[in-house]
Structure 1
Amino acid sequence: MTTDVTSRPGTGQESAASMRRITDDLLQRVEDRLRSFLSAERARYAEVEERAVVAVDALSDLVASGGKRIRPAFCITGCLAAGGDPDDPGIVAAAAGLEMLHVSALIHDDVLDDSGQRRGKPTVHTVFSERHASRGWQGESRRFGEGVAILVGDLALVYSEELVSQAPSAVRAEWHQLRSELTVGQYLDVAAAAEFSVDPRLSRLIALIKSGRYTIHRPLVMGASAAGRADLAAAFAEYGEAVGEAFQLRDDLLDAFGNSAETGKPAGLDFTQHKMTLLLGWAMQRDERIRSLITEPGHTPAEVRRRLLDTGVPEDVERHIAGLVERGCAAIADAAIAPVWRNELTDMAVRAAYRNK
């Protein structure tokens, strides 16, 4: 794609329509990059051993199953809003690497959460556990399935690094922080679930570093860095952390009250896995009975939902989300970007915070 200099993103000359065309084109190039990359890897391993393609195929299936592509979208928007060149293949590589990292996290997350469904389909560890059992292979089916899923997730992690290595070197510092924060955040999430102690401060911290920074803040800054606009880092960080927290809180509400047919994953998983979300933390401060409803056998997610509604906490979380979106949008009000991109980031904040899946 060649972009006329008068409509170059970030110059202030582009219209909303041209902005969307450029963004959509880049997102399609990310899809093409992911597919071509995985296709080449499959062809390479097919020459080695027929079993070797199984892990690549499992990864390809999950990538092709859909997803919101939120991280690539924010990375691309950060770059374009900063005046980056849409013809630079480096931004496509960075965005594709972010999506591949996300796929790695999803696969590992499903093992950690013992989730049987992702994007409306069986999770990787479920598929391979069932394959092991149906074929009468040696060993324990569950252990095999989870082992394969860990390896497929690791493969995605390796591929994410290979993709981002083709991005501008300016993104590397942000990329390294993003990966370490995601892993540390996952650990804190697991530890908080095991302890199951009421600590809203910790719940917000987990939401921030496990989801908020990794989903919005750092992808945005990576995009701006690729465009050579380090001056936007502070505004994008404040925007990203606020909107990222709102994104995670919406995820918590969808888990508690959403429709699994729409979300593509089991409802009430945070209850069964004892995840100490801000929603649960606030509710347990008001109603001690909620702890026993979650931790003691014999209670259903429906009972927990009714009790949560009785506390009034879901409405408080909704108000908190609205405040976070407002805070995020205020953070970019004076940022040195064209109005059309400020409007787009405002729209993206609303879409992230008020999605239904």
Structure 2
Amino acid sequence: MVRVLTDLADAVSRRVDDALTEWTAPFEPVGDALPDLLAPARALLTGGKRLRPRLCAAGWLAAGETLPTSDCVIRAGSALELFQAAALVHDDVMDGSATRRGMPAAHRRFTAEHEERAWAGDPGAYGVAGAIVLGDLLLAVSATEMEAAATSAGPLAGRDAHRVYDRMTAEVAVGQYLDVRAQALPWSETEAGPTGAVERAMQVVRHKSARYSVEHPLVLGAALAGADAELMGALQAVGLPLGEAFQLRDDVLGVFGDPEVTGKPAGDDLREGKRTVLLAMTVDRADPEGRTLIRERVGAEDLHEHDVARLQELMRATGALEAHEELIGERYAAGLRALDAADLPDPAVRALRELASAVVRRSA
């Protein structure tokens, strides 16, 4: 099963590159502007774990299909990867992130090119504008790939699959806004009570990342194969808790991850002021001095390495990190219980167990 999913990932990688070329070919007369625009996207789309296409293939297998490298699944996997790239480009603009996967974020790359060429206007504004446009273009190409996948699946299955995709794209936009809004809330609201703060953070987790990282790709693959509502509901029950575990692990990596592995600076989420579940748990458990440290330094533009170390130690000392790890384990176990109850074909079960483990135990 590992080999089959690896073959799928390789096929999706080739298709993503071809899709960018094919769908932008009509615009080649604009000259050098087109490759300049696409360059950050091509760099971002090179490599990666292809988790979402693999989950899509697992959903396809769950519906009784046996060839996860069919053109239909490859096109859907390409659509998911292109959508992911668009989300990352826009997310880096909103968060002011400097790097992504060890490379300059798209807006930083556009800014640097503006500076190097001594163009007119503000380099930073140009960089942000370029990244917004690039994200929009990636969304458009993603949509065309999804349309091709839906057409290949047939009218009924294609319609159901498109509904999943459309729900996913809309939900991520809502989740992004919830994330931006959470970072703007006064700290007094964050400290108003542990249940409220943690639940608000979990709401962001579900809408911004959990569903589109695991649940939606899984259900999308099943829909393409003609799955009925009962099966898609069973896969939702598997995918949501595993998606929550995925994002909760990401939040740990955003504070404690190795920059050589994650491709982002250590403590990057702290610099960006992310109101994560881990941070909410820390606020709940911290004494007044610890809460003051959080209010004054989380989200500070001049956050230093020693500040990151102090906040990391606070998360450990208060027991927040341990409680957060327990929550990841609980969500992982909930996903596996739902998988056991779903009565899926053996190839789908094997694939999902492999992917569930990769979701929780990843280091990047």
**TM-score for the superposition, normalised by structure 2:** 0.88
The verdict on how the C-alpha distance between 1:109 and 1:222 changes in structure 2, with shifts beyond 3 A counting, is same
Partner of 1:329: 336
Work out whether residues 256 and 266 of structure 2, in 8 Å CA contact, stay in contact via their aligned partners in 1.
Answer: yes
Which residue among 112, 133, 139 is the counterpart of 1:157? 139
Amino acid at match of 1:304: L
Equivalent AA in structure 1 for residue 215 of structure 2: H
Q: 1:178 aligns with which of 164, 168, 173?
A: 168
Q: Which residue does the alignment assign to 2:4?
A: 22
Q: What SS class does the counterpart of residue 362 from structure 2 fall into?
A: coil
Q: Identify the residue that residue 234 of structure 1 maps to in structure 2.
A: 233
- CA 1:273–1:294: 2 relative to 1, 3 Å: farther
Q: Give the number of equivalent residue pairs.
A: 338
* Equivalent AA in structure 2 for residue 78 of structure 1: G
Residue 309 of structure 2: which of 299, 302, 311 is its match?
A: 302
Contact 1:56 1:152 in 2 (8 A): yes
The correspondence for 2:354, drawn from 342, 347, 352, is: 347
Indicate the residue corresponding to 2:325 in structure 1.
318
Do the aligned partners of 1:271 and 1:294 also contact (CA within 8 Å) in 2? Answer: no
1:1-357 matched pairs, under 5 angstroms: 19-41=1-23, 43-64=25-46, 66-84=47-65, 86=67, 88-168=70-150, 169=158, 170-195=160-185, 196=187, 197-198=189-190, 199-230=197-228, 231-287=230-286, 288-296=288-296, 300-357=307-364
Q: CA offset at residue 41 of structure 1?
A: 4.1
TM-superposed CA distance for 1:295, in Å, is 3.6
How far 1:117 sits from its partner (Å)?
0.9
2: CA distance, partners of 1:244 / 1:283: 22
Of residues 100-109 and 234-243 in structure 1, the stretch that sits farther from structure 2 once superposed is 234-243
Q: Tell me if structure 1 keeps the 8 A contact 2:53–2:81.
A: yes
* Larger deviation, residues 244-253 vs 280-289: 280-289
For 1:165, what is the secondary structure of its paired residue?
Answer: helix
C-alpha contact 2:215 2:239 (8 A) present in aligned 1:
yes
Q: In the TM superposition, what whole-angstrom CA distance separates every residue of 1:226-263 from its partner, at most 9, and x where no partner exists?
A: 11112311221111110110111101111111111110
- CA deviation after TM superposition for structure 1 residue 85, in Å: 5.2
Q: Give a deviation string over 1:196-251, Cα, whole Å, max 9, x none.
A: 43211110111111111000001100001111112311221111110110111101
| In structure 1, distance between residues paired with 2:146 and 2:25 | 21
- Farther-moved stretch of structure 1 (229-238 vs 284-293): 284-293
Give the conservation status (yes or no) of the 8 Å contact 1:294–1:304.
yes
| CA separation of 1:289 and 1:346: change in aligned 2, threshold 3 A | farther
- Offset at 1:73? 1.0
Q: Show structure 2 runs of 5+ residues with no match.
A: 151-157, 191-196
% identical equivalent positions: 34
CA shift for structure 1 position 274: 1.6
Distance in 2 (CA, whole Å) between partners of 1:160 and 1:167 is 11
Q: Identify which range, 197-206 or 243-252, moves more after superposition.
A: 197-206
Could you tell me how far 1:133 is from its partner in structure 2? 1.7
Partner letter of residue 54 of structure 1?
Answer: D
Q: Which amino acid aligns with 1:241?
A: L
Task: Name whichever structure is richer in helix by fraction.
Answer: 2
List gaps (5 residues or longer) in structure 1.
1-18
Shift of 1:143: 0.8
User: C-alpha distance in 2, partners of 1:278/1:136?
Assistant: 43
Give how far 1:350 is off.
1.6
Match for 1:331: what amino acid? A
TM-score (norm 1): 0.90
In 2, the alpha carbon distance for the partners of 1:108 and 1:85 equals 36
1:121 & 1:133 partners in 2: Cα distance? 18
Distance 1:92 1:110 in 2: 27
Letter paired with 2:210: G
Which residue identity lines up with residue 108 of structure 1 in the other structure? H
CA distance in 2, matches of 1:40, 1:116: 30
Paired residue type of 1:327: A
Q: Could you tell me whether the CA contact under 8 Å between 1:212 and 1:241 is conserved in 2?
A: yes
Give the ranges of 4+ consecutive aligned residues of structure 1 lying more than 4 Å apart after TM superposition. Answer: none
Q: CA deviation at 1:267?
A: 2.1
